[in-house]
Amino acid sequence: MQEIANNVYIEDQYPGITLGAVCLPHGLIQIDAPPSLEDGRSWRASLLGLGGGSERVLINLDAHPDRTLGARSMECTTIVHEKTAQIFRNRPSLFKGQGDDTGSEWEAIPNLGNLRWASPEIIFSHQMALEWGETSTLLEHKPGSHTGAIWVTLTEYKVVFVGDAIVKQQPPFLAHANLPIWIESLETLLSDDYRGFTVVSGRGGTCASITIRNQLDFLIEAQKELDKLAARKASADAAEKLIAPLLAHFKFPASRQAQYEQRLRYGLKNCYSRNFNALHKAEEE
């Protein structure tokens, strides 16, 4: 566990995601959960030594299974955006580890078994603030990377948790993306509004401005290439040709090649089908 500001901690030893914890006089604010029950118990035990007040809450930064599968094992009140809550309501109550191959981390974790999703207790629409002591924790809807994505900002400590808006040295998840909004949010992150902030990626820990710029360049290129496909009224399968040039934005171990190719394959096809095919239908009508 790494302390990145006074009583603000991150942990990235568990598969896939970077976890956060903020220890305050009123209690502990946890950000995301490890996907496996065993890792959840280990993370919960690590948090016991932080002290602080008796209250505990868990914030899920979006609905991705990598960060929400283990929410129940945290045994505390869960806070999500209303779009994430809607996704939970539409899921079967029991997760059985089946479905599309999306290039997610949970797909490579053995023996996940049948898990029951945690139902969120607190839901918000645009913004929400937790006033626990002198520190205000601001939750804001940022639907670029995912329809229910949020950022968590600790203004006093100049720390912002941005979830999958930034991922380090790996391709992002595009299946639920709104690319123009995502691009705009990263431009804001590079502006004076966030000067001096420690930016915590949802996968990879703290990140420098060069990482944010690389993510921004990737998204701009993806948007441009998908626009070209849309102009030709190409099928979603044509998006597969974009995988190799887009993957060149990142440096990663060769052992991850197949996983990241599949992540982009699944993400590009779904992003194109959702946004660009819908545009074609609207034009035809």
CATH number at residue 168: 3.60.15.10
pLDDT of residue 149: 97
- What integer is the mean pLDDT of 86-95? 79
pLDDT of residue 180: 95
Question: Chain-wide mean pLDDT for the chain?
Answer: 89
Query: 52-80: string of b/e by CB count within 10 Å (b at 16+)?
Result: beeebbbbbbbbbbbbbbbbbbbebebbb
pLDDT of residue 277: 60
Measuring CA to CA, which residue among 118, 91, 116, 96 is closest to residue 106? 96
Residues in contact with 77: Cβ distance below 8 Å, sequence separation at least 6, in sequence order: 56, 57, 58, 121, 122
How confident is residue 16, by pLDDT bands cut at 50, 70 and 90? confident
- DSSP-assigned letter for residue 240: G
Measuring CA to CA, which residue among 199, 196, 247 is closest to residue 221? 247
pLDDT of residue 201: 96
- What integer is the mean pLDDT of 48-54? 78
The Cα 20–Cα 59 span in angstroms is: 9
Measured over the CA atoms of residue 97, residue 103, residue 105 and residue 110, the dihedral's sign is positive
| Residue span of the structural domain in which 93 resides | 2-284
How confident is residue 97, by pLDDT bands cut at 50, 70 and 90? low
How confident is residue 49, by pLDDT bands cut at 50, 70 and 90? confident
Measuring CA to CA, which residue among 181, 175, 282 is closest to residue 236? 175
pLDDT tens figures, 193-230: 999 999 999 999 999 999 999 999 999 999 999 999 98
Q: How many domains does the chain have?
A: 1
Q: Are 178 and 143 within 8 A, CB to CB?
A: yes
Helix (H) or strand (E) holding 186: helix 179-189
pLDDT of residue 88: 86
Q: pTM of the full predicted structure?
A: 0.91
pLDDT of residue 35: 87
Whole-number Cα distances in Å, 88 to 39, 53, 84? 22, 29, 6
pLDDT of residue 283: 47
Give the whole-number percent of the chain exceeding pLDDT 90. Answer: 62
Residues in contact with 33: Cβ distance below 8 Å, sequence separation at least 6, in sequence order: 19, 40, 43, 58, 60, 67, 68, 69, 70, 71, 73, 74
How confident is residue 99, by pLDDT bands cut at 50, 70 and 90? low
